[in-house]
Amino acid sequence: MRLLQWEALCAIVAFALTETFILVPGPYAMALFTFIAQPLFAIVAIGYLRKVRADLRKRGL
Amino acid sequence: MSADNGSQDRDGEVASGISRREVLLTVGGVAVAVVAGAAIWGGLEFYVNKQHAIGSGLNVTYRQVVMVLGTLACVLGVILSIRTARTRFDDVGTARKDVNFGVARVPALVFARLVALMALIVLPAGAVFLANYHTFEGVHEVRGCASCHVMLPMVNDMRDPGSETLAALHYKNKWIAKDQCYHCHSDYGLGGGLEAKMTGFRHLARYTTSTYQEPIKARVKFDNNNCLTCHEGTPKWVAVESHVESHQELAANKMPCLDCHGEAHPTAAQRTPGSSDYSRLMERMK
């Protein structure tokens, strides 16, 4: 079972946008990073931590 | 992640199903990431503050440091994210294979979890940190301001030797050696207030979605402290009676410096599309 598939795919998109901004800084790249990549990273982190928490609870920790 | 391989973990199994080694590796991984982050931060501060000189002649700017480290973080993040997306944690958990690092061997499930931690938490945190550092350091440079075309009138006017605006006077008389925009608008930088940051994000959103009208108008009141930081207490400043008399009002932003000191930038009329000055002010810099 691929438990972290959508999180990983979101992270790939966010990394790509972040890399674009780092290499070619400009207002549009900055907006993509600020308003899309950063929230995506936050969603990824929340999704990951929720699954880790569920996993730990399942194990009784 | 939820592969229930509880009793199958090796080395110091506990009743919960997570081995001591697994926990130690995770804690160690996070600690290494924190130390690496602190080292990167220290390195960036060093390059920014120490003239960027390494050895005899190799000059490194913060931008190059961010580009290299950011690219490493992003490329590694993509690789590990692809691996994580393709990982079947149930299969890894039951496979009972070890991964050999050369200096240590860890169970495949532990390795897969560490890869996921790196791909989804540690590297994104590093990439976000570096990109935000890029954002807040990038706004120091004049070309950073000029990258939005609505700012071109201000930048072009500042560089115009014939202009008498405050920005142009500061520029041509070299009263500010570099990063001229930032010196008078330093609220936008890493040390600026939250309100200035939110204003910056609003400007970014309005600009990139083209939901603005020219000439642009400043909604936020200019903070006199941007002027007072350099001018307050200097012999020339103290010699003006009204400065001393109005000191409290000036410091409290109750009386704008610009009330007496004229236009800081081209007027709204000059920046209005169709005006005689507009095309000159909007010329893209080379």
Do B114 and B60 lie in a common domain?
yes
Flag if B1 and A4 touch (Cβ within 8 Å).
Answer: yes
> Does this complex have an ipTM over 0.90?
yes
In this prediction, residue B119 carries a pLDDT of: 93
- The CA distance from B68 to the nearest CA of chain A, in Å, is 9
Flag if B127 and A41 touch (Cβ within 8 Å).
Answer: yes
Q: Which of B110, B85, B105 is nearest to B17 (CA)?
A: B110
Per-residue pLDDT of chain A (61 residues; tens, 9 = 90+): 568 889 999 999 999 999 999 998 888 999 999 999 999 999 999 999 998 888 888 877 6
CB neighbourhood size of B64 (10 A) = 12
Flag if B67 and A26 touch (Cβ within 8 Å).
Answer: no
B68 is a domain residue:
yes
The domain total for chain A is 1
| Alpha-carbon torsion angle B208, B213, B217, B219, nearest 10 | -60
Please say which residue of B79, B108, B138 terminates a domain: B138
Do B99 and B147 lie in a common domain?
no
Do B96 and B147 lie in a common domain?
no
Secondary structure class of B214 (helix, strand, coil): coil
pTM over 0.90: no
Do B16 and B125 lie in a common domain?
yes
Do B169 and B88 lie in a common domain?
no
Nearby residues of A55 by Cβ (< 8 Å), 6 or more positions away: B1, B2
Query: To the nearest whole percent, how much of chain B has pLDDT over 70?
Result: 80
Mutate to test the interface with B, among A13, A30, A32, A52 (most CBs of B within 10 A): A30
B201-255 pLDDT tens trace = 888 898 999 888 888 887 777 888 888 888 888 898 899 998 988 888 888 888 8
Domain housing A21:
5-58
Please say which residue of B93, B115, B138 terminates a domain: B138
In this prediction, residue B215 carries a pLDDT of: 85
Chain B residues in contact with A22 by the CB 8 A cut-off are 66-67, 70-71, 74, 130-131, 134
- How sure is the predictor about B5, in pLDDT bands with cuts at 50, 70 and 90? very low
Do B26 and B126 lie in a common domain?
yes
Do B24 and B108 lie in a common domain?
yes
- The CA distance from A39 to the nearest CA of chain B, in Å, is 10
Q: What is the mean pLDDT of chain B?
A: 79
Domain housing B37:
6-138
CA distance B62 to B43: 9
